[in-house]
Amino acid sequence: MKPNPRTLFKQESRIADEFALLEAIVVFPGDCLELLKTIPNESLQLIVTSPPYNIGKEYEKKLHLDLYLQQQAQVIAECTRILSPRGSICWQVGNYVDKGAIIPLDTVLYPIFASHGLRMRNRIIWHFEHGLHGSRRFSGRYETIMWFTKSDDYVFNLDAVRVPQKYPGKKYFKGPKAGQYSCNPLGKNPGDLWVIPNVKSNHVEKIEHPCQFPVELVERLVLALTDNRDWVLDPFLGTGTSVIAALRHGRRGVGAEIVPKYVQLARQRIQQEIDGTLRTRPMNRPVYDPIEAGNSLTIAPWKKDAEQIRLFERSPKYRKTAGR
* Residues found near ligand SAM in the complex (CB under 6 A): 31-32, 50, 52, 59-60, 209, 211-213, 236, 238-239, 241, 256-259, 262
> How many Cβ atoms sit within 10 Å of the Cβ of residue 286?
8
Residue nearest to ligand SAM (CB): 238
Asked whether the CA dihedral 34, 39, 42, 48 is positive or negative, the reply is: negative
Nearest distance from residue 295's CB to ligand SAM, in Å?
28
- Nearer Cβ to ligand SAM (10/200): 200
Nearest distance from residue 135's CB to ligand SAM, in Å?
25
Nearest distance from residue 296's CB to ligand SAM, in Å?
33
Nearest distance from residue 6's CB to ligand SAM, in Å?
19
Q: What is the distance between the alpha carbons of residues 148 and 163, in angstroms, rounded to a whole number?
A: 22
Nearest distance from residue 209's CB to ligand SAM, in Å?
5
Q: What is the distance between the alpha carbons of residues 61 and 154, in angstroms, rounded to a whole number?
A: 36
- Nearer Cβ to ligand SAM (186/207): 207
- Nearer Cβ to ligand SAM (86/218): 218
- Nearer Cβ to ligand SAM (86/146): 146
Nearest distance from residue 251's CB to ligand SAM, in Å?
17
Angle at 121 between CA 116 and CA 123, to 5 degrees: 100
Q: What is the distance between the alpha carbons of residues 313 and 321, in angstroms, rounded to a whole number?
A: 8
- Nearer Cβ to ligand SAM (27/118): 27
Of 269, 95, 281, 93, which is closest to residue 197 (Cα–Cα)? 281
HSE on the CB side for 14, CA within 13 Å?
Answer: 9
Measured over all CA atoms, what is the biggest interatomic distance in the chain, rounded to whole angstroms? 76
Please, is 310 exposed, middle or buried when counting C-beta atoms within 10 Å of its C-beta (0-12, 13-18, 19+)?
exposed
Q: What is the distance between the alpha carbons of residues 109 and 112, in angstroms, rounded to a whole number?
A: 5
- Nearer Cβ to ligand SAM (88/212): 212
- Nearer Cβ to ligand SAM (31/227): 31
Nearest distance from residue 43's CB to ligand SAM, in Å?
19
